[in-house]
A and B are shown apart, each in its own frame.
Chain A
């Protein structure tokens, strides 16, 4: 059975082309993926992300539970509303999912996890919670809309009450606040400023329409993918999965090692991998010649082979970019080759970050 978000009818009204996305019927574009991409880079665009899963973790053991569950350390979170990006690993150090943890107090946290991994994540979280005094509550009664772009905040501001405006005033990146009916977070997946807003499902269609009327362009999953790849952000299932260590997925920065007594799941394996230095690493690739780097293409380096995990045409840059997992000895600025349609093409290795705030960053 295909799931539909509460915004399904609005997507059709906006002319969306719908596709199946891990069991959800979601908009891939509303006519032109590239125009939607540019709307986010130059003005404001919005995405229905209601298919993502909100899970609230509450209880006296919420903090020690999360300090075990995820590789980053929620003890870093001291200010209510602060958010943290992290991975959730299995005992073998493979990535079960990447997620954002929002902090309210030591007994109240909110997780937002991927839709494609929802069932697996919930099963794992519930299993690991045995013995901890926590309640785990999925919140399907919320819809979620991400509004992103240089004009996103200004356009959203036209819809907010005075109280909500005050609540978000001066809010730094990676924070969140519950303001009236809206849970407003300064998180996102495009490398632009903006908000991710969770709101009661029965309010979502009206809110979406008000955003349309405010000049925010509806954008589909196609643009979401080119935007996030330009921003160098990982996509679960492509850039990492259960067979991949966070050390091989540009997620080493999300592993908090400092507290030696914190026994997060997968710690022993990841510590051994770190000591051995034997994991591949995730790099960015730039190809200015004609053609598009695609997922799965082989990367040939003097240190051995690698693979493109995500590749696309970058609408902002006008040429192709990719993320690739390559041997750790490959250096930034080096030239390596990609096997494309039976020929070898030179590409440049860079840090996996291509565009920030609409500008080239390499």
Chain B
């Protein structure tokens, strides 16, 4: 069973969302998702300043095995991307919930966070897969 931190929120499409408490969130993909994808070789990130809407495909995780779209779990403006992934995409494998984060979003509507899954809900959703 992979690690699913209880302080985070989740989308069924395997993104995690950390509420930074200042109207911004940090987004990554879950440990479960990186395990399915295998060794990451490139991560294509959005541009800072992009306006994204919930469900938009905003990034691509390319593992040795496959290319997978990553979706915006919330609407807002991209305010920062994890540039370390440019040279070290394997951070997504080694530290999916930490150094392997993907991008930060300034929320349009903080209420959107309520629509995301909690850890238990996400655990159930991956059990059903």
Evaluate contact between A226 and B62: CB separation under 8 angstroms. no
> CB within 8 Å of A: which of B14-56?
38-39, 41-42, 44
Set B44, B65, B90: member contacting A222, Cβ < 8 A: B65
Bound CA–CA A28/B66 (angstroms) = 14
Bound CA–CA A222/B65 (angstroms) = 8
Please, which residue of chain A has its CB at the minimum distance from the CB of B86? Answer: A290
Q: Assuming the A-B contacts A292-B67, A294-B67, are A34 and B39 also in contact, with contact meaning beta carbons closer than 8 angstroms in the complex?
A: yes
A135 proximal to B (CB < 8 A): no
Q: Assuming the A-B contacts A226-B64, A312-B64, A313-B64, are A292 and B42 also in contact, with contact meaning beta carbons closer than 8 angstroms in the complex?
A: yes
Bound CA–CA A221/B38 (angstroms) = 13
Residues of B within 8 A of A313 (CB): 41-42, 62, 64
Chain B interface category by residue count = 10 to 19
Residues of B within 8 A of A34 (CB): 39, 41, 64, 90
Residues of A within 8 A of B41 (CB): 34, 292, 313
> CB within 8 Å of A: which of B68-101?
90, 93
Evaluate contact between B42 and A290: CB separation under 8 angstroms. yes
A140 proximal to B (CB < 8 A): no
Bound CA–CA A341/B42 (angstroms) = 15
A291 proximal to B (CB < 8 A): yes
A137 proximal to B (CB < 8 A): no
Residues of A within 8 A of B65 (CB): 222
Bound CA–CA A291/B66 (angstroms) = 10
B48 to A: closest C-beta gap in Å: 18
Bound CA–CA A290/B114 (angstroms) = 36
Bound CA–CA A29/B39 (angstroms) = 10
Bound CA–CA A32/B89 (angstroms) = 14
B115 to A: closest C-beta gap in Å: 28
Evaluate contact between B42 and A32: CB separation under 8 angstroms. no
Set A33, A290, A291, A341: member contacting B64, Cβ < 8 A: A33
Residues of A within 8 A of B93 (CB): 32
Evaluate contact between A33 and B62: CB separation under 8 angstroms. no
Residues of B within 8 A of A341 (CB): 60, 67
* A222-B65, A292-B64 known, 13 other contacts, Cβ within 8 Å: A32-B93, A33-B39, A34-B41, A34-B64, A226-B64, A290-B44, A291-B42, A291-B67, A294-B66, A312-B64, A313-B62, A313-B64, A341-B60
19 sampled A-B residue pairs with Cβ under 8 A:
A28-B38, A33-B38, A34-B39, A34-B41, A34-B90, A226-B64, A290-B62, A291-B42, A291-B44, A291-B62, A291-B67, A292-B41, A292-B64, A292-B67, A312-B64, A313-B42, A313-B62, A313-B64, A341-B60
CB-CB nearest 8 A-B residue pairs = A313-B41, A34-B39, A292-B62, A290-B42, A33-B39, A313-B64, A33-B64, A32-B39
